[in-house]
Structure 1
């Protein structure tokens, strides 16, 4: 897809994770934000990072991702809201600057696996610091189609908590996305392209967009709605 459609696809999403405003506020509360350095690894456009800086203006905030389109959206939002946030185009898994606070939500894949992510992030967050870690888990027994979509390394929730402990973390807070958060996330992930398709049905790109939208909705309702969960862990070590 071209840059125009890539930017449009997520344009109706607040953040690229199933998360309500109230749930986001709760997680930021649990992170006990003040001064120090906060890094968001795999930040996308960094909306939660921007919210953190609005709460704690003394934070030094950095978002790291390889998605140039998302980073540009983040920079534009930071400038519009007068927030001092640095967005860096880089491999988040290579970040090696110790920080007091970190976010890593839905980005375990950049480290290779959930266990590798939790181990790698333990080298990033200073002792006594906090990590907001978000990751998928099986909330029900998956069928082969769901495993094919999300991979065989996806854990159950007990396995995820055990993996955090094995990497040296202690759980300060645990919560999971509810069904409304998931439905809103999936709907908004399709909305930008669905609106474009309705306005441009004869565009040469329309058929590819239509196929993606139909496949995404079909996979969600058939293969992983109510099967894949998303856990948010506030961790310390």
Structure 2
């Protein structure tokens, strides 16, 4: 049985990416899901996937390794009558064809941006791809936290071209989306902490919350961007 600490981690998050409702609706319209199969590789709990198939003749497949997130997705799909199957598997190991695919914030599962784009070309010819990029020159501290293989936005678009993709739609997360994402990513643990101040995990949780807040506002707020691309080939 999953305890309340594991459930609290992302309890207040709509999805695990900086994206508001209106922006999500726009991306799904551009992806143009109608029928067939849509696969979400690195789906988390699959909220965007469930919405993608809603009102269509399509069926969804969500692939992730996070058992807690997958259980949440299965419950949501059942409650809402969505035809979505959740598979516990590494995103890069999934093999199959789909009329549409999504991969948002999961390029690391394939070894990076360009390897992900190359691998996803074998899956579909229309892809919603979300990936981080440097929106401003990163400091050494930002590189230490986030890694050194993040591209600029022009570099991200060039990687798409080099792997045979064309950009049908481009948009980026704005600052309010980022602030909401970061706030909801830590607020579940904060609420847990307030309810369990004497738990043995309280001290490390308090330390994690302090560090995450400091890193966000001092190191990578306004520096790390998230680009959403609807790609075709």
TM-score category of the 2 structures, normalised to the smaller one = over 0.9
Structure 2 partner of 1:209: 205
CA distance in 2 between counterparts of 1:80 and 1:50 reads 11
Note the 1:121-140 alignment, pairs <5 A.
Answer: 121-125=120-124, 129-140=125-136
TM-score norm. by structure 1 comes to 0.96
Is 1:219 aligned to 2:215, yes or no? Answer: yes
Match of 1:190 in 2: 186
Following TM superposition, where does structure 1 have runs of at least 4 consecutive aligned residues deviating by more than 3 angstroms?
none
Number of aligned residue pairs: 232
TM-score with structure 2 setting the length:
0.98
> Alpha-carbon deviation of 1:155?
0.2
Could you tell me which runs of 5 or more consecutive residues in structure 1 were left unpaired when the two chains were aligned: none
Q: Distance in 1 between matches of 2:110 and 2:3?
A: 26
1:111-149 Cα shifts (integer Å, max 9, x gaps) = 011110011111111xxx310000000000000111111
Match of 1:55, SS state, is coil
Mark the runs of 5 or more structure 2 residues left unpaired by the alignment.
Answer: none
8 A Cα contact 1:39 1:62, kept in partner: yes
Q: Is the 8 A contact 1:101 1:131 kept in 2?
A: yes
Paired with 1:203 and 1:162, the residues of 2 have a C-alpha distance of: 49
Counterparts of 2:3 and 2:30, CA distance in 1: 37
Q: Identify the match of residue 145 of structure 2 among 137, 144, 149.
A: 149
**1:227, distance to aligned residue in structure 2 (A):** 0.2
1:79 shift after superposition: 0.7
In structure 1, distance between residues paired with 2:78 and 2:230: 29
Q: 1:3 deviation in Å?
A: 4.5
Q: Does structure 2 retain, via aligned residues, the 8 Å contact 1:95–1:124?
A: no
- Is 2:225 aligned against 1:235? no
Q: Secondary structure at the match of 2:54?
A: helix
Structure 1 vs Structure 2 CA RMSD: 0.9
